[in-house]
Amino acid sequence: MTTTIHGKQFIAGTRVAEGGHTELYSIDAVSGEAYEQPFYEATPQDVTAAARAAADAFHPFRAMTPEKRAEFLDTVADEIDALGDDFIAEVKRETALPEGRLTGERSRTTNQLRLFAKLLRRGDFLGARIDRADPERQPPKPDLRQMKLGLGPVAVFGASNFPLAFSVAGGDTASALAAGCPVVVKAHPGHLVTSELVANAIVRAVENSGLPNGVFNMIYGDRVGAQLVQEPAIKAVGFTGSQRGGRALFDLANARPEPIPVFAEMSSINPMFLLDTAIEKRGDDIAKGLAGSVTMGCGQFCTGPGLIIVQRSPETTRFIETLGEHIRELPGQTMLNAGILDNYQERIERFKGLAGMQAAAVGPAEGNQAAAYLFKAEKALLWSKESPLLEEVFGPSTVVVEVDSPEELVDAARLLNGQLTATIMAEEVDLERQRGLIEILEDKVGRLLFNGYPTGVDVCDSMVHGGPYPATTDARGTSVGTLAIERFLRPVCYQNMPESFLPEPLKNANSLGLLRLVDGEYTRDALA
């Protein structure tokens, strides 16, 4: 490594590791060997110091122009792009993810930062609204002007399955910084070296941009999350992980004297509904694509298709057999860490023990690799109370359920809890017969796909990566795409504020050239 790894907390631009820290180690995902340099778990004092550093930086950072924050995000992106081949090698060592996947994920991460920079320069995130005074009205109408401001310091929890795009400089961090909110990142224990290298890049960007040091902070540890969420200086939380972990943080945040919002992406089985004509015309192609989607990244995607619902027919029987053939051909893969593999294998064994469930196909695997599984379940399992089929299995497996009528297909959709995605494979004639299915799924998911596969989340203005509980704790937001900034903003109204004291986006001159809602009409014009 050309960069020295210290394993210490990042607090207000300094590296901190006082006495009494528990030692943590970065583990090679394939060999299980520990990295030579230990990392030091944050003490309670470290956690408080990081939150306070973020609070000290908040008002100066939020007061900066959108252009200044945009330049900072561009600088962060440049610093991460400049990390060398040894950086990718370290991420690969910690996660067992292939080099091509990691270079693509780095590009996604830096492109995401630049997308938020573009949003800042566009200015529509401010939501500027102006209703001018009318003293002749009875009663007289005051001058009212509204815009959105950052909430305050945000706690960000790095995710295991995306060591770059959902981690230290991922979507939660990018959107919080874009909103003018300093961050305290809790590094994921599964990629400690990766987190430190990315954090170093962000710190360089903070220094080169002349920002307050507390704009970015990062702490290490398995047991520091609860305190971080309860720190009075923290005003919102971004989390990607398990339902148990996300719900625990949500409950802690709501038990505070001052409750704060938790935007937790947690659990999803991403059901797919395969309709008759589509299977008849494209069954073999769908089976091949579906097998690839189920096993992509060893099934370690929150959008992996975990439940396939079809109507029983001879074509469906052939489709399931073809899907099984593809599953058997796909080699085993190494998962992110031993804990995730253990959990996956435990879930697989539970499925094997369920009455009405059979393993229809199993892929090959060697050593500590995860094998791909296709299960076939009786429909009674889906209809059962607290159905086990609605529980996420994090890994390369899926379950097929056959129903016996179009009505049961719709009934199955009604049984679903909240999901990140649902997919309909259909021809137009299928959709004409199943209009009700679309209506039901709109209430169940954040993203509804047609004739595609849910693995693959494009980072753009229109993307929604969220959904009703338990997919997330707040279905009104998204953790991917520019709308993610809304999670860390709140509206503020200024009544009869003197012009010279108004925020720049609300002044009459409109020096930023914003599209503003003025007296009920959108305009970029300056006001008299």
Torsion angle of the four alpha carbons 494, 495, 500, 506, in this order, in degrees rounded to the nearest 10: 50
Which of the following is catalytic: 41, 105, 196, 302?
302
Calpha distance 303→467 (Å, rounded): 12
Q: Which residue, 79, 62, 4, 67, is CA-closest to 214? A: 62
Pick left, alpha or beta for residue 363 (phi over 0 → left; psi -120 to 50 → alpha; otherwise beta): beta
DSSP summary character for residue 472: B
User: Which of 51, 359, 417 lies closest to 233, judged by CA?
Assistant: 51
Give the tokens for residue 267.
């659990």
In sequence order, the 6+-apart residues with CB closer than 8 A to the CB of 414 are: 440
Please confirm, yes or no, whether 265 is among the known catalytic residues: yes
Helix, strand, coil fractions of the chain, as percent rounded to 5: 40, 20, 40
Helix boundaries (H) for 353-421: 379-383, 406-415
Using DSSP's 3-state secondary structure scheme, residue 171 falls into helix
8 Å CB contact between 177 and 183:
yes
Catalytic residue among 79, 265, 315, 392: 265
Q: Which residue has the tokens 């599209």?
A: 515
SS3 405: coil
Tell which residue, 305, 274, 296, 239, has the closest CA to residue 430: 274
| Residues marked as catalytic | 265, 302
